[in-house]
Amino acid sequence: MSAVEQADVVVVGGRIAGSAVAITLARGGRKVVVLERRSFPSDTLSTHVLVPYAVAEAARLGALERLLATGAQRSPYVHVGAGNVQLTEHWPTAEGIGYGLCIPRPEQDHAFMETARAAGADVRERADVTEVVWRDGRAAGVRYVDADGAEHELHARLVVGADGRRSTIAAEVGSWRPYRGSRNGRGAAFRYMDDPRAGDRRWGETMSQWRWGRNIGYTFPVFPGRVICLLMPPAEEIGAMRRDPDGAWDALLASDPDGIGWRLEGATNRTKLRSTAETTSFFRASSGPGWALAGDAGHFKDPVIGSGQRDALRFGRRLGELVAPVLDEGGSDAELDAALRTWERERDRQCNASYHWGCRESAPTEPATPLLQEVIRTFEGNPAHLSHNFNRTLEPERAAGPRALALGLLNALHRHPGRRGEILREALDELPAELGIRADRWFGVFRASSSRPTERPDFDWPPPPAPSARRAAPEPGVDPEEALARAHEVVMGV
């Protein structure tokens, strides 16, 4: 083993959350080392919509120029299609940004990592963290293995696990099992294709959500003329998609001929289908003596609401901002731990309502009920409420507040006389969830573990991988420019 190194902060994982923490602390002159087991640019199984608020976070971190240099399409419009309701809005400007982006992960994540390097963080790729080092009951550093198989020890006052849902750091600090969570009801399947409606400016620059049958789907412009489609049917249908990717995909689109089926009719040059049915949402205890879990390592929301990256960036940055003064002023360990706890509390408070929104949207039931359609219709008279909902510039319970719910209910009863019983039942079923979410906001208990009606708490949670099984297969080093070009070709279907 080489000589033990010393840093102020070690960040494990160099994608979105890790880069956000590292950029914020490195800019302030802290010695930050980022250890990332992959060789970047690197892909991951995730779509990648950045709503304007997330783009604004990227701008704050200084990554926007690099993101735009990828040639990504800017999407200033957002659309929802739900049965009889078709609603399009111009995104309102959030911190100077009035458009969304959707940049494939190899290019996007590389841009964040390079921004961290430029800010002064020491980013080491192909560095696989295996253990946390403890001193007097505090996390005091990590051990890792480099690309040549050599072992290293790095000491730091703060260890940040930004290493994703299967976080090694969560396992090492005893926080592997979430204290609350919800089984996903929907799966996710996605692919890129040439956009058959790119010539129509309205569609070529619009991020859209489609709700039909028991399904939710999305179309996001990626590069000019190229679009990604994410289908989120009930989770049990992902198996059929894997057995017959093209047949099942086409059948699902055809089942919404006036919505997403129409939007993508005639799409060509489709890439291979990728899918997952494992997207349990959760909260883990995310701070402790000398450690924190940022991004997906600490908290995951169902991808159906497309908020993961936004929050990984936002709360990565906030973690850096909250601990910086303690690290700068030689604060005590108790002060550092208090700052970490303040950070976790802030994250939970700001994410609670959208976590429940994600749990609710992930229920594999009809997503465009008469009640829901009529609630969405009320947004027509409230500019930007649809955008607020996706952007989270208003909490979901405020964007679709009591007035929208009451008006939606009255209109649903009026317009769908044959379904009144069902509409009333749905409204009544919503009540406890709505009240619970508001109660959490007013009286929020830290790390409350009791479940709300939106959640499906019967989720499976595998045991943590044994330390001997944690290491990833070593990757060869790559030339970043060549690898970026190759990743781009894959997305473009070349």
Ligand X SMILES: Cc1cc2nc3c(=O)[nH]c(=O)nc-3n(C[C@H](O)[C@H](O)[C@H](O)COP(=O)(O)OP(=O)(O)OC[C@H]3O[C@@H](n4cnc5c(N)ncnc54)[C@H](O)[C@@H]3O)c2cc1C
Residues binding ligand X (CB under 6 A): 12-18, 35-38, 44-49, 128-129, 162-164, 168, 188, 276, 279, 295-296, 303, 306-310, 312
**Tokens matching residue 302:** 């169902």
CB of 211 closer than 8 Å to CB of 480? no
Is the torsion defined by CA of 461, 462, 466, 467 positive or negative? Answer: negative
User: With respect to ligand X, which residue has the nearer C-beta, 293 or 409?
Assistant: 293
CB of 435 closer than 8 Å to CB of 397? no
Give the helix/strand (H/E) hosting 411: helix 402-415
CB of 333 closer than 8 Å to CB of 290? yes
Beta carbon of residue 163, minimum distance to ligand X (angstroms, whole number): 3
**Tokens matching residue 155:** 């000491």
**Going by C-beta distance under 8 Å and a sequence separation of 6 or more, which residues neighbour residue 2?**
150, 151, 152, 153
User: With respect to ligand X, which residue has the nearer C-beta, 13 or 408?
Assistant: 13
Is the torsion defined by CA of 118, 120, 121, 124 positive or negative? Answer: positive
User: With respect to ligand X, which residue has the nearer C-beta, 312 or 353?
Assistant: 312
The backbone torsions φ and ψ at residue 224, rounded to the nearest 5 degrees and listed phi first, read -50, 125
Beta carbon of residue 311, minimum distance to ligand X (angstroms, whole number): 7
Beta carbon of residue 57, minimum distance to ligand X (angstroms, whole number): 11
Instruction: With both helix axes pointing from N to C terminus, report the angle between 370-378 and 402-415 in degrees, rounded to the nearest 10.
Output: 130
User: With respect to ligand X, which residue has the nearer C-beta, 129 or 229?
Assistant: 129
User: With respect to ligand X, which residue has the nearer C-beta, 278 or 366?
Assistant: 278
User: With respect to ligand X, which residue has the nearer C-beta, 2 or 44?
Assistant: 44
470 closest CA partner among 189, 230, 172: 172
Beta carbon of residue 226, minimum distance to ligand X (angstroms, whole number): 16
Rounded to whole angstroms, the maximal C-alpha distance in the chain is 76
**Tokens matching residue 358:** 């994600």
355 closest CA partner among 452, 477, 479, 485: 452
Instruction: With both helix axes pointing from N to C terminus, report the angle between 16-27 and 105-119 in degrees, rounded to the nearest 10.
Output: 20
Q: Which DSSP letter does residue 107 get?
A: H
User: With respect to ligand X, which residue has the nearer C-beta, 312 or 423?
Assistant: 312
Give the helix/strand (H/E) hosting 312: helix 308-328
User: With respect to ligand X, which residue has the nearer C-beta, 296 or 395?
Assistant: 296
Beta carbon of residue 296, minimum distance to ligand X (angstroms, whole number): 4
One-letter amino acid at 421 equals G
Beta carbon of residue 89, minimum distance to ligand X (angstroms, whole number): 19
User: With respect to ligand X, which residue has the nearer C-beta, 109 or 434?
Assistant: 109
Beta carbon of residue 109, minimum distance to ligand X (angstroms, whole number): 7
**Tokens matching residue 190:** 């996605």
Distances 62 to 113, 170, 317 between C-alpha atoms, Å:
11, 29, 12
Q: Which DSSP letter does residue 231 get?
A: E
Beta carbon of residue 218, minimum distance to ligand X (angstroms, whole number): 8
User: With respect to ligand X, which residue has the nearer C-beta, 287 or 373?
Assistant: 287
Alpha helices in 173-237 (DSSP H): 201-204
Please, is 172 exposed, middle or buried when counting C-beta atoms within 10 Å of its C-beta (0-12, 13-18, 19+)? buried
Beta carbon of residue 293, minimum distance to ligand X (angstroms, whole number): 9
Q: Are strands 188-194 and 274-276 parallel, antiparallel or unpaired?
A: antiparallel
User: With respect to ligand X, which residue has the nearer C-beta, 433 or 487?
Assistant: 487
Beta carbon of residue 287, minimum distance to ligand X (angstroms, whole number): 15
Q: Which DSSP letter does residue 196 get?
A: T
Beta carbon of residue 439, minimum distance to ligand X (angstroms, whole number): 27
